[in-house]
Amino acid sequence: MKNDYETFVSNFKKKSGIDLFFYKEAQMKRRLTSLRDKRGYHDFSSYFTDVQKDAELFHELLDRLTINVSEFYRNKKRWDVLEEKVIPHLKKTRNRIKVWSAACSTGEEPYTLAMILNKHISSNKFEITATDIDENALRRAEMGVYPERSLREAPKEMVHKYFKKQGLHYQVSDELKKDIIFKKHNLLSDRFEQNYDLIVCRNVLIYFTEQAKQQIYHKFSQSLTENGIFFVGSTEQVFTPGEYNLKLFDTFFYEKNA
């Protein structure tokens, strides 16, 4: 028989399409239990009954489990490697570069990509698709308005070139916006598009179970072109890249075998 949390996981999947079974259970359960307790429920069954009826509770729950933290040039040194090593590597054999920012949250990552790519390639020679499971995050990404702290790692000249200060916030320019297509996509259940030269997927795989991670690595590898590059977060190295037809290119970058 399913316990209280397991029943919640299956009911939540029916309602949202998100299968929490593939997220590390201890961590997720802790996050959701603290939210549930804060709202005054003592079990998941009574909490879910109200989540069904109350859109605000449902959105708060979605927000808690998606963890949208992001920033421009997150772990800046890795973006330097992308600029100095990965882009020259891709340009050597390609006229056009197709990029996927997977689990892009509120857009800081794909906009960082667009700033760097624009420096080295004309914008009609690359395309960026940016996806996330969270529609609210995608809406904010499309609006492109950010607090100053999210730009603390961004080079000053980039902030100057691509952002307009509006009160306490920074608005991204239309020039960058036009380089990115934002779309909803669930890494655990949707089809992966093919022929990407660069896939950036950072700071989401840490939340998934080993089994889910392995499936996703296989799919990313299949989605890459020969010698294409997979860029992961700074706590997310792939320990056995050979299993996925990948090899280490630089720390946190993997190259698809030819």
Ligand X SMILES: C[S@@+](CC[C@H](N)C(=O)[O-])C[C@H]1O[C@@H](n2cnc3c(N)ncnc32)[C@H](O)[C@@H]1O
CA-wise closest residue to 229 among 119, 136, 93: 93
Which range of residues in 47-55, 119-127, 133-141, 222-230 is near ligand X by CB under 6 A?
Answer: 133-141
Q: Which CB, 70 or 221, lies closer to ligand X?
A: 70
| Stretch 71-100: interaction string toward ligand X, x if CB under 6 A | ---x--------------------------
Interface with ligand X (CB under 6 A), residue from 15, 37, 45, 69:
69
CB of 67 to ligand X, least distance (A): 5
Q: Strands, E, within 103-212: which ranges?
A: 126-132, 145-147, 163-166, 169-172, 180-184, 196-201
Interface with ligand X (CB under 6 A), residue from 97, 198, 204, 224:
204
CB of 58 to ligand X, least distance (A): 15
Name the 3-class secondary structure at 30.
helix
Interface with ligand X (CB under 6 A), residue from 99, 137, 224, 246:
137
Q: Strands, E, within 133-218: which ranges?
A: 145-147, 163-166, 169-172, 180-184, 196-201
Give the Cα separation of 185 and 141 in Å (integer). 14
Interface of this chain with ligand X, residues 38 to 57, rule: CB under 6 A:
none
CB of 121 to ligand X, least distance (A): 22
Interface with ligand X (CB under 6 A), residue from 117, 180, 187, 199:
187
Torsion of CA 66, 69, 70, 71, to 10 degrees: 160
Residue at token pair 């860029």:
231
Residue at token pair 């109350």:
54
In the complex, the residues that contact ligand X under the rule CB under 6 A are 66-70, 74, 103-105, 108-109, 132-134, 137, 186-188, 202-204, 233
